[in-house]
Structure 1
Amino acid sequence: MIGKSTDCDWTIQTVHSWLQSCRPDHDMCSHVSAMVNDWHPTRLVDLGPNRNSIYWTLYSTQEDGSLRMPVIYMALSYRWGANKLRLLNSTLAEFRKGTISIHQLPQTFQDFSFLAKRFGVRYLWIDALCIIQDSARDWEIESLRMRQVYANSVCTIAASASTNEQEGLFRVRTNLDGVLPGLIQIPVTPLSSQDQRQMVPFYIFDDEVWESSIYQSPLHRRGWAFQEQYLSPRMLYFTGNQVFWECIQGGRRCEGFPNGISPYAGILRQNGRVWNLKQQLQRLQDNGGFTDMSTRVWCDLVTVYSRCDLTNPEDRLPAFAGLAKFFAEKVGDDYVAGHWKSRLLRDLCWTRDDIEAVTKPQASHMRRIASWSWASIIDVPVYYAYPWDLSEDYPYDYLTNIVQVQVKPQANDDVFGPLSGDFLALHGVPLEKSVTFSEGVVCKDGICGVPMTTSSERSVNSQLPSPLAWCLDNPLEPDSEIALEKQTYLLPLKTSLCCGGGFYIQSLVLTPTVDSCAFPNTRCFTRVGLVTEHMWKGSDLAGFCPRQDGVMIFDESTRARMELITIV
């Protein structure tokens, strides 16, 4: 029977049975680990062969030699707090002596150790104890190995209900009745009138329990926890009232539904997009290139991840690195500052995702990351703004060409980690505009932004058509100039037919920068936003001409004005 606490015998035996049934029988779950076979972390917490021992030691494969393969270990996903017991250069020798008691660890680490011993798992991976926290070099190396750490973990344990490492894994249930579904009998008349009316059992349960217990929990708003969830083939979530299980092949279970949650239940429908996203990611073929499926998966990953919180905004790319590496194996493409080289022109069409923040000056560009990367803005979610491109019914073309893209890793030549000195060289037509705000937010064809008034004598068309959908990366106050230099440029990037017989043009919003350009005698810009101009079929647009399929492209006079520019 279910006990009052999530560490009761029934709970531990039940969740252990889920793990035991998955490991030998689920090929998809095992395949994730097999992709990085014969690998183990640099360091592991060793609980020792004796389950009754209260001491632990830090095992280092660099100093102690490799362990026998395969190494069975569990990883911990949790929120950091003010814990002072961390691996430092000064504590490294002490951690390796094996004289520190498990009871000296923060409560979450203690509970994690207890659970591992009950499962018969000797080794643990906890970032605070396995990465030297005061060594920038070690942090850079180890943080870029998260893809292997979590993919190879036999199971990742999530302290979902805890705001820090002192609060523990286990909880006294606040509502024991809320764990088990209610059961009622309802009289039902069969379709055939010859059959007698009969009593049919129905379950009653909270169909938002997964959302409220996991996705709205303190842990899962944390940016670093995002990839931990998506990279792990098996997850156990310890929440405030019950324990949940998730694996790629076997689906989801919880203490209320220990044999599995029906796919027709609202519990899964509430988060079907997130759940399906994890399954779709794991099912992508290695080196399969970009397909409609992989494109949608990547776009959704970026959007969901960008909603998470990060204590250090500069971790925006490192905290996503493991997932990006996994995806790179699937599509076989080069990763460039959160985008993919083969589709960089399309990927430049990203924008802020929340309507409310469009009019608020909350976000800012991180100078260490190129402004053309979605990772450069903080505090707001982003999404890729090309909703029609994934269908052949809406042909499109690009109005700009990429000449060169450069990303410069800060360490280890790893393009998935922190970057500096990135630039993008383009061949296009920057159009100077004078732009001011008007009030309100406009949504058109699924793209939302701030309408603006524009004027220019040097643009291809002196008055841009309406409606406009403006989304600035870092909005200013209404009726203010968009740029300090009082110069704004639109760089037409892409044109496409769309639903309803119209077409649209997407342009980057740029401002000049004093940064030195990568190429001499060229102009250098910073991205500040994206604008989508939607026009109806037959619209007269100076400087453009229709292609045979109806897509609007530059005419000869406009193409003659194309120049080489750099965006940093």
Structure 2
Amino acid sequence: MADLIPTSTLCDVCTGIFAGNWQPQLRGWKRAIKRPNAPPDPINPEPAFGTAYDHGMEPYVHRTGAPPTLSYPHYSVEDLRKSGASCALCQTVVLAFDALHPRNDIGMDYMEGRKPYGVAAWGQEEIAKAKGYVFIYTEKNKTSKLIFRYHVYADWAANRNMDVNPIVGEREGNVKDVTLDIHGDNPDLSKEENKHYIAWMDQGTTIERVHRFLNDTSDFAKDLPKNLVRQLPTRLLHLTAGSPGPMVRLIDGANVCLDVNTPYIALSHSWGNTMPIQLIASRLTEFTNEIAFSDLPATFRDAAALTLELGVSYLWIDSLCIIQDSASDWLHEAQRMASVYAFCHLTIAASASKNPTTGLSPSPRPRTVIIRPTWTGFIQEWGLQPGQTLRVTNPWYQDFGNTIVSAPLNRRGWTYQEYALSPRVLHCTDGEWWWNGISDEIYRETSTNPTRFFTGSGSITWPDKLSFFNKERRRITRTPDVWFWDYLTSQYNQRALTKRKDKLVAFGAVAQLFGQINGLPVDKPGEYVAGAWRTYLPFGLHWSIGENAERHVSQPGSEDEDYVIPSWSWASIDGLVRFHDGKSLEKTREEQTKGMPRLVDVNVVTEGGHFGPVKSGYIVLHGPIFRIRVSKKARDHKQSGFYRNFRVLRSDDSEAWQHDGQAFSLDTWKGKLDEWADDREMYLMIADFDKEDEYGSAFAILLELAGGVTKEKGVFRRIGSTLFYFHGLTKLMKDVRQDGNEALRDGEYMDIDPKTGFYTYKIV
């Protein structure tokens, strides 16, 4: 079967890497641990075949001035870019330069509050200056490496001072590699994990494999909540095969004679900075008659052609099926997204597309370069027989996290629900396609082995689709529903939105389906409140912000000025939020909420339904709250907080208790430190504590009086949080209430329980 695999088109230069009569140049060489001309290493005896172009690397390593065995003219990245239009190998290397990599790894990026897609691996200045060469490192019975090595300074070989590694002649820190994996089909080297590179060609075309996947998972509806009503989208695009392209027209899903089980495909895509074509009220009649296929941007055209190729005649695209200049239609359709995605035959995710003009796969795929080398040195030393097949792949793109999770599409807020709710998704990248359903298994175009990107139901990096739909999975992993909700909100809250008022609308379908799966009264007014569930409260209030997160503040006169998410909601923050709802594992509700304030009331005003844009809201609680005075001492701004000494005050302004060296996490800190007085008063609302009568920890929410917002008594606004240790609530209350004092002064509370000293107060 391997002989039937078509070889990739390479330029003359890259063809030369795999041709000729090379001999090992660096036998037994290991960078930075083997000196030149050292005897062979019995542990690492394999050779490295190298070329050096004209920078002196190879002569210096050999110390004899040995000339390079092969010129490699693509010594600059610009040469690679020019050649990449026609050469599969050059393009693979160029994509490595352009890829965005997590700063550490995806999990660490989320935990530290950074965007999941990381940073560019190469800076533009480095690319412009880089000069390089290529070599191959082989180890028998292991995957070999094709290494394109670049030095970011042109004078790297000439400058051999103390900053140069004397073993290999390279300046520390200025070497960057693009490392590709070479897989061979020689029986001596075909380890089990490499066999699938041959086997995938036996499985038919990618379309045939996706067809089989859809057939094998056709009973996906069994995993959906029974109370979610199956219905067709309000509008669909009807596709009919034609020449030179399909015929496309808009139909009314409610009024045409279509069975409710008619399959349709949904497209998940990024709008970018512009949308070339969209449905507006004045074009509704025109689109109903026909939409010219040539007027569709490349991504839409590709999606339409793929839909027909998969045997489906109906396609849903948000910008063409929702009237974009009708606020009422937009709000109505936004409330129906749970049904649109949950019941679609398949969601096509344009994962690599930054806007609709790039197509589903901007670069040729699959990103596996197929070669049959004639390089006799390679054949002699590695055991490869003439005419056998090599596969060159970029290991970076073998990982679902790097290819899909970090893709441009998954940086956008609206697309979160499209993946989380769709039972089956086909991820189209610029290298190869991946697909998965409601399981841990993820399939890819160039492998028959399913991979797994199992983050677990407790992950904040990527939604666990199986745990979302399957409560039994969460029971086995001991993940309470409220925890899983916390993780979903943490994942979503890092994504970007063009319009701030969409913050909770774009998450509404996830909330609706989550509520239905978990038996929450989603249709009851006042149950879903600004990203929290009344049934779970006060769980959901216990959050703090991650690095680089920031509270959103609407600017006067802005489009979102009338839409204000209450300060107690995680959705008022842009960026990572971390929850402290650890006690939700306790058995009874009474045990779970012991040490938390009692919920008195909660009210949120929305537009267009329970899951529509939020305009205002408040929550009323009853519990311990204290006035404190803090001392200003700057902490590292990158950690979003400040060390402060705080003193708990009595109603007569005397000091009841002091805590030194406390770290406060502020919800808004950029540019605010200089504005605050050194001794600033704020309020410490104890949201949860471990022990009533002895030393233990407590999680507290920091508040300030909401002056200028209302003339009501006891109205506060959240400004931060802290985790601190104290000698129990009983002792603190006793210290505060000495000599007839109380914790708060008149006008700072709505009501007080004279027996406990607890207050009723409102947070807006």
- After TM superposition, the score normalised by the length of structure 1 is 0.79
Larger mean CA deviation between 387-396 and 15-24 belongs to: 387-396
Is residue 29 from structure 1 mapped to residue 220 from structure 2 by the alignment? Answer: yes
Residue 685 of structure 2 corresponds to: 491
Conservation of the 8 A alpha-carbon contact between 2:733 and 2:757 = no
Structure 2 residue ranges without an equivalent (≥5)? 9-87, 89-200, 372-392, 521-526, 555-562, 736-751
SS of aligned partner of 1:319: coil
Match of 1:377 in 2: 573
- Structure 2 counterpart of 1:375, one-letter code: A
State the alpha-carbon separation in 2 of the partners of residues 395 and 426 from structure 1: 16
2: CA distance between counterparts of 1:269 and 1:336?
28
How much has 1:486 moved relative to structure 2? 5.2
Deviation at 1:3, TM superposition (A): 8.5
**Contact 2:458-2:479 within 8 A present in 1 as well:** no
Q: CA deviation at 1:204?
A: 10
Match of 2:55 in 1: none
The residue that corresponds to 1:353 in the other structure is 546
Structure 1 segment 88-107 matched on structure 2, within 5 A: 88-98=280-290, 100-107=291-298
Are residue 363 (structure 1) and residue 590 (structure 2) matched? no
1:406 partner letter: N
2:529 is aligned with 1:336? yes
* 1:388-446: CA deviation from partner (whole Å, max 9, x where unpaired): 553679976234222111112212xx222212231111223432222243232599xxx
- 1:133 Cα deviation (Å)? 0.4
Distance 1:131 1:37 in 2: 20
Aligned partners of 2:366 and 2:446 also within 8 Å: no
Distance 1:142 1:276 in 2: 24
1:28 offset after TM fit, Å? 6.3
1:457–1:119 CA distance, 2 compared to 1 (3 A): closer
- 2:361 is equivalent to residue 167 of structure 1: no
Q: Is the 8 A contact 1:338 1:375 kept in 2?
A: yes
Taking the TM superposition and a 5 Å limit, the aligned residue runs for 1:120-519 are: 120-173=311-364, 176-177=367-368, 205-206=395-396, 209-249=399-439, 251-261=441-451, 263=452, 273=459, 274=461, 277-284=464-471, 292-333=479-520, 334-354=527-547, 357=548, 362-365=550-553, 368-378=564-574, 380-387=575-582, 389-390=584-585, 397-411=594-608, 414-440=609-635, 449-458=641-650, 462-466=656-660, 468-475=662-669, 477=671, 480=674, 487-496=681-690, 503-514=696-707
Please, which moves more after superposition, 486-495 or 401-410?
486-495
Query: Deviations for 1:52-102, whole angstroms, at most 9, x for unmatched residues?
Result: 76321100135x43512312110011110312310001111110112x321
User: Aligned-pair RMSD on alpha carbons?
Assistant: 4.1
When residues 3 and 258 of structure 1 are mapped into structure 2, their CA distance, relative to the original with a 3 A threshold, is farther
Query: CA 1:3–1:560 in structure 2 vs 1: closer, same or farther (change >3 Å)?
Result: farther
Query: Which letter does structure 2 place at the counterpart of 1:97?
Result: N
C-alpha spacing 1:365/1:339, structure 2 compared with 1 (3 Å): farther
Give the partner amino acid of 1:60.
D
2:704 is aligned with what amino acid? T
Change (3 A) 1:144 1:15: farther
Cα drift, residue 14 of structure 1: 3.8
User: Which stretch shifts more, 556-565 or 297-306?
Assistant: 556-565
Q: Distance in 2 between matches of 1:15 and 1:33?
A: 28
- Report the structure number with the largest CA radius of gyration: 2
The offset of 1:311, in angstroms, is 1.2
Secondary structure, aligned partner of 2:507: helix
Q: CA deviation at 1:516?
A: 5.7
Task: Give the distance between the partners of 1:486 and 1:37, measured in 2 at CA.
Answer: 53
How far apart are residue 456 of structure 1 and its match? 4.7
Residue in 2 aligned with 1:198? none
Aligned AA (2:239): L
Residue deviations 1:327-360 (CA, integer Å, cap 9, x gap): 1012223321111112211211111122xx37xx
| Cα separation, 1, equivalents of 2:508 and 2:528 | 10
Secondary structure of 2:602's aligned partner: strand
SS of 1:47 mapped into structure 2: strand
What amino acid sits opposite 2:491 in the alignment? V
The yes-or-no answer on 1:562 pairing with 2:758 is yes
Q: Is the 8 A contact 1:29 1:249 kept in 2?
A: no
- What's the secondary structure of 1:383's corresponding residue? strand
In 2, the alpha carbon distance for the partners of 1:205 and 1:291 equals 34
Distance 1:513 1:521, change over 3 A: closer
SS where residue 451 of structure 1 aligns?
Answer: strand
2:198 — aligned with what? none
Matched residue count: 512
Task: Check conservation: 2:685, 2:702, Cα contact below 8 A.
Answer: yes
- Amino acid across the alignment from 2:497: L
- Equivalent pair of 1:364/1:473 in contact (CA under 8 Å): no
What is the rounded CA distance, in whole Å, between the counterparts of 1:253 and 1:51 in structure 2? 32
Which piece of structure 1 moves more, 315-324 or 42-51?
42-51
Aligned CA distance change for structure 1 residues 97 and 396 (closer, same or farther; 3 Å) = closer
Per-residue CA deviation, residues 522-544 of structure 1 (Å, 9 max, x unaligned), is: 32111111122124x78994216
Partner SS for 1:425:
strand
Residue 224 of structure 1 aligns with an amino acid whose one-letter code is W
Tell me, in whole angstroms, the C-alpha distance in 1 between the residues paired with 2:682 and 2:641.
17
1:424 and 1:282 map into 2 onto residues whose CA distance is 30
CA deviation string 1:181-223 (max 9, x = no partner)? xxxxxxxxxxxxxxxxxxxxxx995586212211111111111
Which range moved further: 508-517 or 398-407?
Answer: 508-517
CA distance 1:16–1:282, change in 2 (3 Å)? farther
What SS does the aligned partner of 1:211 have? helix
Alignment identity in percent?
A: 27
- 1:61 has 2:253 as partner: yes
| SS of corresponding position for 2:301 | helix
2-side partners of 1:146 and 1:439: how far apart? 45
Does the 8 Å CA contact 1:455/1:462 hold for their aligned counterparts? Answer: yes
Letter in 2 for 1:79: S
Say if 1:558 and 1:134 are closer, same or farther in 2 by CA, change over 3 A.
same
1:106 Cα shift?
0.5
Q: Which amino acid aligns with 2:644?
A: M
The one-letter code matched in structure 1 to 2:335 is: L
How far is the alpha carbon of 1:172 from its aligned partner? 3.0
Structure-2 change in CA distance of 1:229 and 1:430 (3 Å):
same
Q: Secondary structure at the match of 1:426?
A: strand
Q: Tell me, yes or no, if the aligned pair for 2:650 and 2:656 is still in contact at 8 Å.
A: yes
What is the CA–CA distance in structure 1 between the aligned matches of 2:490 and 2:566, rounded to whole Å?
A: 19
Structure 2 CA distance for partners of 1:421 and 1:78, relative to 1, 3 Å: same
In 2 relative to 1, CA 507–483 (structure 1 residues): closer, same or farther, beyond 3 Å?
farther
The whole-number CA distance in structure 2 between the counterparts of 1:11 and 1:133 is 46
Instruction: State the distance in 1 between where 2:678 and 2:346 align.
Output: 52
- Offset at 1:307? 1.2
Secondary structure of 1:248's partner?
coil
SS in 2 for 1:491: strand
Which residue, 535, 540, 543 being the options, matches 2:733? 543
Q: Partners in 2 of 1:469 and 1:175 — Cα distance?
A: 50
